[in-house]
Amino acid sequence: MNATRRDFLKTSMAMAAAAALANPAKLFASGTKKTGQSQKASSSEKMVLTFEPFEARMKHVFTISGSSRSTTPIVLTRISYQGHVGYGEASMPPYLGESSASVMDFLRRVDLSRFSSPFQMEEILTYVDNITTNNTAAKCAVDIALHDLCGKLMGQPWWKIWGWSNKNLPSTCVTVGLAYAPDGSIDREEVRKKTLETLDYNLIKVKLGNTGENDKTMINTIREVTNLPIVVDANQGWKEKGYALSMIEWLAARGVEMVEQPMPKLLLDEAAWLRDRSPLPIMADEACQRLSDVRKLYGAYDGINIKLMKCTGMREAREMITLAKALNMRIMMGCMTETSVAISAAAQFASQLEWADLDGNWLIANDIFTGMKVVDGYITLEDKPGIGVEPL
Ligand code: MG
């Protein structure tokens, strides 16, 4: 019996060592490894921030107007305090200008030991925001971990702390990315295949903003497979307002219900012209980064796409929702390529959203957390405290 138990322990230790080599981030998530630390864990009464890089592998090469990639750099964060751990994450798609190195440089400057309680959230997150002007994803990684920690200390999820509901939540849309043949035309077979993988959802998101021919081929190919409603993201790809309007009219006739960022983000007068004439609602994504942008966009767009990585996290996202509602603007929440940590943080807002684009964890092959579940295409929220995630 003893020998058997000894063997079991030996095997477990060997397996743990092998797992550490294969996936260090997994051990980080479960709390056994710290590769970055912003301050010494001198007292269990103090918050301790730790962090580690992680590479998210995409299930498919992801192409939007202007770029393609198969991995996304992420930095995972943890804030430990009195035996509780809050998880956070920064995701850095290349166009945002942050990298694992810049995020970790930022996190090394965050000194949480100067605060006595994680419930000093306003003070802590204002301090974090004031460290630099940009670094929104790095700031978000602290914000999410702090929210997760405080929710756990209170024993409640944030959707409930904020007084919101977990009933009748929206569907999340799921993205069918662009796929090109070697000659630069749309790879129709690949698009059909990708579309078939999305049919368990209720809403498809399509990335356009290409040439008119390719854009129309994408929609026509998807329509050969399904009549599910579509939202379109042009990622600033249509450069001229008359052309943008003609595309939107063409899309409206094919079951598209909303268009995100049709034109370049700085063209506000053109966006207002387009909004006055468009048969579909126009949402600002690249044009809307933080709270201070919302008022500028009023009148030019019907609504805003909030992303935690753009706006520094859950605290500011909630303020943006309050302001957008006051301005009678429509609200959507999107994501980057993210693990279930950031997706579950965003899902806390689900009851406030007209459109949810929270498929970032579905798009990656190596998620190391479990959190928000999509059931029959709909976002669901449980009673698990904080942001409701656990390491896998
Ligand atoms: Mg977008």
Q: How far apart are CA 149 and CA 147, in angstroms?
A: 5
Task: Considering only residues 208 and 4, tell me which one the structure prediction assigns the higher pLDDT.
Answer: 208
| Claim to verify: residue 31 and residue 46 sit in the same structural domain | yes
Helix (H, G, I), strand (E, B) or coil at 97: coil
Average pLDDT over residues 9-37: 53
Q: How far apart are CA 332 and CA 324, in angstroms?
A: 10
What are the pLDDT digits (tens) for 47-61?
A: 999 999 999 998 877
What's residue 209's pLDDT? 82
Ligand 1 center from residue 356 Cα (angstroms): 12
Q: Which of 101, 121, 155 is where one domain is finished?
A: 155
Ligand 1 center from residue 293 Cα (angstroms): 16
Ligand 1 center from residue 233 Cα (angstroms): 5
| Claim to verify: residue 220 and residue 112 sit in the same structural domain | no
Report how far apart the first and last C-alpha atoms of the chain are (Å, whole number): 30
What's residue 178's pLDDT? 84
| Candidate from 242-246, 278-282, 340-344, 357-361 with smallest mean pLDDT | 357-361
What's residue 15's pLDDT? 42
Is the separation of the CB atoms in 58 and 70 below 8 Å?
yes
Task: Using the predicted structure, report yes or no on whether residue 384 has a pLDDT greater than 90.
Answer: yes
Extended strands (E) in 144-203: 174-176
Ligand 1 center from residue 106 Cα (angstroms): 26
Ligand 1 center from residue 261 Cα (angstroms): 7
Range of the domain at 90: 3-155
Average pLDDT over residues 18-24: 50
Q: How far apart are CA 201 and CA 110, in angstroms?
A: 40
| Candidate from 14-23, 221-230, 244-253, 345-354 with smallest mean pLDDT | 14-23
Question: Which residue in 235, 248, 311, 252 sits closest to 275, CA to CA?
Answer: 248
| Claim to verify: residue 166 and residue 143 sit in the same structural domain | no
Question: Which residue in 150, 197, 161 sits closest to 177, CA to CA?
Answer: 197
| Claim to verify: residue 30 and residue 174 sit in the same structural domain | no
Question: Which residue in 294, 264, 293, 262 sits closest to 278, CA to CA?
Answer: 262
pTM of structure: 0.90
| Claim to verify: residue 189 and residue 126 sit in the same structural domain | no
| Claim to verify: residue 133 and residue 183 sit in the same structural domain | no
| Claim to verify: residue 43 and residue 173 sit in the same structural domain | no
Ligand 1 center from residue 304 Cα (angstroms): 10
Mean pLDDT of the chain: 90
What's residue 67's pLDDT? 67
Task: Using the predicted structure, report yes or no on whether residue 381 has a pLDDT greater than 70.
Answer: yes
Tally of domains in the chain: 2
Is the separation of the CB atoms in 292 and 320 below 8 Å?
no
The CA distances from residue 373 to 96, 145, 263, in Å, are 27, 20, 33
Ligand 1 center from residue 162 Cα (angstroms): 26
Distance of CA 43 to the CA centre of its chain: 33
Average pLDDT over residues 312-318: 98
The tokens of 40 are what?
């010494």
Helix (H, G, I), strand (E, B) or coil at 61: strand
Task: Using the predicted structure, report yes or no on whether residue 35 has a pLDDT greater than 90.
Answer: no
CATH code, domain with 40: 3.30.390.10
Ligand 1 center from residue 286 Cα (angstroms): 7
Q: Which of 155, 188, 207 is where one domain is finished?
A: 155
| Claim to verify: residue 102 and residue 236 sit in the same structural domain | no
Average pLDDT over residues 260-286: 98
Q: How far apart are CA 380 and CA 10, in angstroms?
A: 40
Beta-ladder partners of 207:
233
| Candidate from 51-65, 147-161, 294-308, 341-355 with smallest mean pLDDT | 51-65
Task: Considering only residues 390 and 212, tell me which one the structure prediction assigns the higher pLDDT.
Answer: 390
Task: Using the predicted structure, report yes or no on whether residue 150 has a pLDDT greater than 80.
Answer: yes
Beta-ladder partners of 282:
259
What's residue 192's pLDDT? 96
| Claim to verify: residue 124 and residue 64 sit in the same structural domain | yes
The DSSP-derived string for 105-135 is HHHHT--GGG-S-TT-HHHHHHHHHTT-S--
Ligand 1 center from residue 81 Cα (angstroms): 36
| Claim to verify: residue 203 and residue 280 sit in the same structural domain | yes
The CA distances from residue 140 to 18, 199, 313, in Å, are 32, 32, 4
The tokens of 98 are what?
């942050």
What's residue 48's pLDDT? 97
CATH code, domain with 331: 3.20.20.120
Average pLDDT over residues 124-128: 98
What's residue 297's pLDDT? 98
Q: Which of 155, 182, 215 is where one domain is finished?
A: 155
Ligand 1 center from residue 175 Cα (angstroms): 11
Task: Using the predicted structure, report yes or no on whether residue 82 has a pLDDT greater than 50.
Answer: yes
| Claim to verify: residue 209 and residue 68 sit in the same structural domain | no
Task: Using the predicted structure, report yes or no on whether residue 43 has a pLDDT greater than 50.
Answer: no
Ligand 1 center from residue 262 Cα (angstroms): 9
The DSSP-derived string for 236-297 is T---SHHHHHHHHHHHHTTTEEEEE--S-TT-HHHHHHHHHH-SS-EEESTT--SHHHHHHH
Helix, strand, coil shares, percent, the chain, to 5: 40, 25, 40
Task: Using the predicted structure, report yes or no on whether residue 151 has a pLDDT greater than 90.
Answer: yes
Task: Using the predicted structure, report yes or no on whether residue 309 has a pLDDT greater than 70.
Answer: yes
Burial 119-157 (b: 16+ CB within 10 A, else e): ebbeebbebbbeeeeebbbbbbbbbbbbbbbbbbbeebb
* pLDDT confidence bin for 3, thresholds 50/70/90: very low
| Claim to verify: residue 299 and residue 168 sit in the same structural domain | yes
| Candidate from 5-9, 135-139, 170-174 with smallest mean pLDDT | 5-9
What's residue 212's pLDDT? 82
Distance of CA 217 to the CA centre of its chain: 28
Ligand 1 center from residue 285 Cα (angstroms): 5
Task: Using the predicted structure, report yes or no on whether residue 382 has a pLDDT greater than 80.
Answer: yes
Largest interatomic CA distance in the chain: 79
